Amino acid sequence: MQAILFFALIFTVLILPVSAPMALVTGVLFSSILIHPYPEKNKTWSNWLLKVSVLGLGFGMNVAQVIDSSLIGIEIMIASFVFVLVVGYLLVRVMGLSKNIGHLISTGTAICGGSAIAAISPLIKATEKQISISLAVVFLLNAIALFLFPPIGTYFDMSQQQFGLWAAIAIHDTSSVVGAAMSYGNEALQVATSVKLSRVLWIIPMSLITLVLFKTKEGKVKIPWFILVFIGIVCLNSLVSIPTIIGENIVVVSKKFLIVSLFLVGSGLPLKNLKSLGWKPLIFGLVLWIGVSTISLTLILF
């Protein structure tokens, strides 16, 4: 019965016009009230479905769009990256927080949430508990951002381009970035996707910085290959005349898959798991997130 209900909910969010925040909440409620039938496979499914969805969005973009979007507000992106790492380093010392947890949350906030945490954790030999706490903090703030950002963008009368840039800088995970941007508009979605994927590449220099800071010699830097595939699809879409109806349908299906991936993300972390976080990691992540969100919003608007 658990499995039947699980797949019935996936079918529902796939077919019906369910919003990104609602899909996320549905997943959280499902795993909080019932028992997830496939807890070990859920993370893999959500990860691959998100990648396939993002690749599908590439059929609705061209090279000029991606380059222009990726270069928008590059100074703001660099400033936010430096801000998070410096303030994160200082907060770890002031709060007496675990160095590993502080570095993982800082990295997730500065770059791309769970993906960055997964890439950096082996380099610092983080324990399973430290990884879980860091992911839980990032997930919680992602969920809040998915609800808060679109109304804030509307309140400040942000343009599609401005909101897409802000979402890509101030929201951690790619899934929540595209979810929030999709709620705001198609142009915001294109800008947010391009900027966020360009920021994912920052995992490479961040890994090198981590090897130096933690004096690790055995670490192996991970390269986010799927971003190169995304670039290849965009180039193909720009060079080859793909029928409009095919490209549009691929984008529509990809957006639906994004909604399903948010349901899977939500179902991967029941509310009971958040109770064991502890106040220090939560306050640490909250301060960094509010700081980078406020600073980037101010710079984008003014």
- The pLDDT tens digits for 115-137 are 888 888 888 888 878 888 888 88
209 within domain boundaries = yes
- Contact between residue 173 and residue 149 where contact means Cβ atoms under 8 Å apart: no
Q: From residue 223, how far is each of 49, 164, 202 by CA, in Å?
A: 19, 25, 10
The answer to whether residue 32 is domain-embedded is: no
Task: For residue 28, tell me if it sits in a domain.
Answer: no
Mean pLDDT in the chain? 86
The verdict on residue 142 lying in a domain is yes
Please count the other Cβ atoms lying within 10 Å of the Cβ belonging to residue 239.
Answer: 10
Retrieve residue 82's tokens: 């430096």
Question: Which residue, among 284, 276, 270, has the nearest Cα to 34 in the 3D structure?
Answer: 270
CA angle 136, 268, 36 (to 5 degrees): 140
Identify the domain containing residue 264 by its residue range.
58-301
**Domain count within the chain:** 1
**In-domain check, residue 4:** no
pLDDT band at 220 (very low <50, low <70, confident <90, very high): low
- Residue 46 forms part of a structural domain: no
Q: Max CA-CA distance within the chain?
A: 58
Give a yes or no: residue 172 inside a domain. Answer: yes
Supply the pLDDT for residue 55.
85
- Asked, for residue 33, whether it belongs to a domain, the answer is no
In the numeric block, which tokens belong to residue 79?
Answer: 């400033």
| Predicted confidence (pLDDT) per residue in 64-94, tens digit | 777 777 777 888 888 999 999 999 999 999 9
